[in-house]
Amino acid sequence: MLILFPEGTRTADGAIGPFKPGIGFLIAGTPIPIVPCHIHGAFKAWPKGKWIPRPRKLTITIGEPLRFAEAKPAKEDALAIAEALRNAVVALRA
């Protein structure tokens, strides 16, 4: 198992930022299932600019696995995969 945070950074306001296309390049054309997850409470536990996390209750919502075996490792597909994964995480937030 490998856990990736495709935003590449913590946001200043806790909003879900854009996902970097690197996640798309990594998984395009592979049968590997990608499981989108949302960590509720993470921003309050460790806001950007703080060196040490604060004790807080976190809730993780786990989505259905997604696969991108038909995608090509090209920029257009990588961007589309990144956006699809971001949309899946945003949907879990609701």
Which residues neighbour 2 within 8 Å (Cβ) at sequence distance 6 or greater?
Answer: none
Q: How many CB atoms lie within 10 A of CB 29?
A: 14
Q: What is the pLDDT of residue 83?
A: 98
Segment 47-56, tens digit of pLDDT? 999 999 999 9
Residue spans per domain, the chain: 22-93
Q: Which helix (DSSP H) or strand (DSSP E) does residue 37 occupy?
A: strand 37-40
Q: Is the pLDDT of residue 1 over 90?
A: no
Q: Is the pTM of this model over 0.85?
A: yes
Backbone angles phi, psi at 50, to 5 degrees: -95, 140
Phi-psi region of 15 (alpha: psi -120 to 50; beta: other; left: phi over 0): beta
CA distance 69 to 71: 6
The 10s digit of each residue's pLDDT in 17-48 is: 999 999 999 999 999 999 999 999 999 999 99
